[in-house]
A and B are shown apart, each in its own frame.
Chain A
Amino acid sequence: EPEVTQTPSHQVTQMGQEVILRCVPISNHLYFYWYRQILGQKVEFLVSFYNNEISEKSEIFDDQFSVERPDGSNFTLKIRSTKLEDSAMYFCASSPDVNTEAFFGQGTRLTVV
């Protein structure tokens, strides 16, 4: 069964460093998403991406964040100059069409120290 895969599963980084989280969405899906979940809190929307453009972004997704689809299979989230409060689980998701069922990856646990 097709699935969304994310790497790495865990990432520890020093405050101020840049990190890149990687995702391989389901191959025939057209819409891609990043979400985050701070420990014990709800799943929060960061950004959606379609046709090599950002479709929508939340207030959380400021200039510190960027997304890219560098090739036909990968979808990345870059966090520049990480802060302690960026520590969270980051989930990638994909869907075949807008606002249809979305499938989530297993997540990357980011710890900023």
Chain B
Amino acid sequence: TQLLEQSPQFLSIQEGENLTVYCNSSSVFSSLQWYRQEPGEGPVLLVTVVTGGEVKKLKRLTFQFGDARKDSSLHITAAQPGDTGLYLCAGASQGTYKYIFGTGTRLKVLA
């Protein structure tokens, strides 16, 4: 069974601080996506990474896919209250037709 573990589970920080969220698995993924989910809404796609070692930037968010394509990280620089939400990683493996979601990191940025 494929599992994606995210850490930390909860994170509460002050506005302006930096943070990193991790997404780890023992499985290799052909692509990995990061989503952000607000309460009562669907996951909103932030980024997709497909190549080992790939780094993508989205404003203050930096996403990295591990060299072995088993793990990923999301780094937020100078966090703002608007970054508050549930961050989810989701991986897809070769030969499957599904995305496995991680356990999620709930981020709260205090003003």
Seen from chain A, the residues whose Cβ lies within 8 Å of a Cβ on chain B are: 4, 6, 31, 33, 35, 42-45, 48, 50, 55-56, 58, 89, 91, 93, 98-107, 109
Q: For window 82-111 of chain B, which residues contact chain A by CB distance below 8 Å?
A: 88, 90, 92-94, 96-104
Within 8 Å by CB of B102, from A4, A42, A89, A103, lies A42
Instruction: List 12 other contacts, CB 8 Å, given A43-B88, A107-B42.
Output: A42-B104, A44-B101, A45-B101, A55-B97, A93-B99, A98-B97, A99-B94, A100-B48, A101-B45, A102-B90, A104-B44, A104-B45
B48 touches A48 (CB 8 A): no
Inter-chain CB contacts under 8 Å: number: 64
The prevalent SS among residues of B at the interface is loop
Shortest C-beta distance, A94 to chain B (Å), equals 11
Most buried by A among B35, B44, B88, B90: B90
Shortest C-beta distance, B28 to chain A (Å), equals 12
Seen from chain B, the residues whose Cβ lies within 8 Å of a Cβ on chain A are: 30-31, 33, 35, 40-45, 48, 88, 90, 92-94, 96-104
